[in-house]
Amino acid sequence: MTLESLVPAASAAAASGPEHVTVPVAYDGILLASFGGPEGQDDVIPFLRNVTRGRGIPDERLEEVAHHYRAFGGVSPINAQNRMLKAALEAELASRDIDLPVLWGNRNWDPYLRDTLRGAHEQGHRSLIAIATSAYSSYSSCRQYREDFAAALEETGLAGSLTIDKVRQFFDHPGFVQPFIDGVFSALEELRQQLPGLDVTRDVEVLFTTHSIPSADAERSGPASRGFGPEGAYAAQHKAVAEVVMAAATAGADIPWQLVYQSRSGPPSQPWLEPDINDAIAELPARGVKAVVIVPLGFVSDHMEVLWDLDNEALASCAEHGLIGVRVPTPGVDPAYVSGLVDLVLERVQGTAVDDRPALTALGPWYDVCRPGCCENVRLGFKPAVAGIAP
């Protein structure tokens, strides 16, 4: 496929544009945008200062949250994951004859978004389509990326000469969901082999886990015309995807499951989404549960939250309560996920009609252009953002 035949369009996020962009757009590069993480002990505190910028948290407090990174030699797994994802995307694009380079930039660590954008513009890029490594709607997983794109364009003086659009939140895209279906299926097989006579409808509980967020952020996740209830689009999207995974992976067996949360931070006085995964695990033995399948539904790859908060803490909670625990893999560079991300770019390059876009839940396909008020943060206040309609 060649991209030359396509008309160069103005930014798909044109101020009054529709929520789905169904005209072809001649993007000239893919921006793989991620969180970033430290790569050695000396990086840890500067990285945490970046993450918590503007919130006035003293270094002594940061050292307290640094211990996960310290235990891994100061190295987050996230950058290695993104290097692998970039290479996998490049291979997938090449195999489909799609001539779009993948440029990687992070919000909180090198390579920083601003440097990636500066380099992209110097190389002649003018119109990028971003893939953020984050599947759901919330301030941290959607709007903060869009704000940081706007800030990086402003900082580099490139606002107006480089546009950044963003693929839709992909929580219910088959490429993202399939690895979880495969993972739950395999985990149940593994438990059946490990525990002969296991009755999965009685002895097993599936815990879908995601990053907790402040309840105030959850309530304001998704578009301003919300209607998703007090936990917002964030929880609604996770629950809808969990239902799809259960239906597909269990062949109709009625296995109990719930959505739980992990990695809470912030002051105890501030309400965050609950229950915490460890509290949920502690309740299970009283109900006769023997084994737990932990599904990291909120994570696209093996972040520190997966390696520490799940593989270390949550599996230890299982052991403490006499439960067998199995953790399902994250999508990582699963071929279904990688090819799904390329499909998400192509639907924008081709201007695919909404009805032809794959979505496994009734909530999708999600918006290409964020609605006014989408995923606002009431604590941090209004900041300009790309790829959305201003209020």
Ligand X SMILES: CC1=C(CCC(=O)O)c2cc3nc(cc4[nH]c(cc5[nH]c(cc1n2)c(C)c5CCC(=O)O)c(CCC(=O)O)c4C)C(CCC(=O)O)=C3C
* Residue ranges of the binding site: 76, 145, 211, 305
Binders of ligand X among 119-148, rule CB under 6 A?
133-134, 138, 140-141
The answer to whether 219 and 227 are in contact (CB under 8 A) is no
Nearer to ligand X, 138 or 352 (CB): 138
Contact between 52 and ligand X by CB under 6 A: the answer reads: yes
Distance between CA atoms of residues 24 and 20, nearest Å: 11
Helix/strand/coil for 229: coil
Contact between 41 and ligand X by CB under 6 A: the answer reads: no
Binders of ligand X among 258-317, rule CB under 6 A?
265-266, 303-305
Options 73-81, 152-160, 315-323, 336-344: segment touching ligand X (CB under 6 A):
73-81
Taking the complex as a whole, how short is the minimal distance between the CB of residue 30 and ligand X, in angstroms? 18
Nearer to ligand X, 214 or 323 (CB): 214
Provide the annotated binding site for Fe-coproporphyrin III.
76, 145
Binders of ligand X among 202-231, rule CB under 6 A?
211, 213-214
Helix/strand/coil for 325: strand
The answer to whether 169 and 133 are in contact (CB under 8 A) is no
Taking the complex as a whole, how short is the minimal distance between the CB of residue 235 and ligand X, in angstroms? 12
Distance between CA atoms of residues 204 and 191, nearest Å: 9
Torsion of CA 245, 246, 249, 250, to 10 degrees: -170
Which of 17, 18, 24, 77 binds ligand X (CB under 6 A)? It is 77
For 208, phi and psi rounded to 5 degrees?
Answer: -85, 125
The CA radius of gyration of the chain, in Å to the nearest whole number, is 21
Letters for 144-183 (x = contact with ligand X by CB under 6 A, - = none) are ----------------------------------------
CA distances from 273 to 25, 65, 231, 295 (A): 38, 19, 8, 17
The vertex-142 CA angle with 136 and 147, nearest 5°, equals 175
Distance between CA atoms of residues 10 and 333, nearest Å: 32
Options 45-53, 155-163, 190-198, 355-363: segment touching ligand X (CB under 6 A):
45-53
CA distances from 57 to 67, 262, 375, 388 (A): 16, 21, 24, 30
Nearer to ligand X, 213 or 342 (CB): 213
Distance between CA atoms of residues 388 and 372, nearest Å: 7
Nearer to ligand X, 156 or 330 (CB): 330
Nearer to ligand X, 53 or 96 (CB): 53
Options 75-83, 186-194, 273-281, 319-327: segment touching ligand X (CB under 6 A):
75-83
For 127, phi and psi rounded to 5 degrees?
Answer: -150, 105
* Residues binding ligand X (CB under 6 A): 35, 37, 48, 51-52, 65, 76-78, 133-134, 138, 140-141, 211, 213-214, 265-266, 303-305
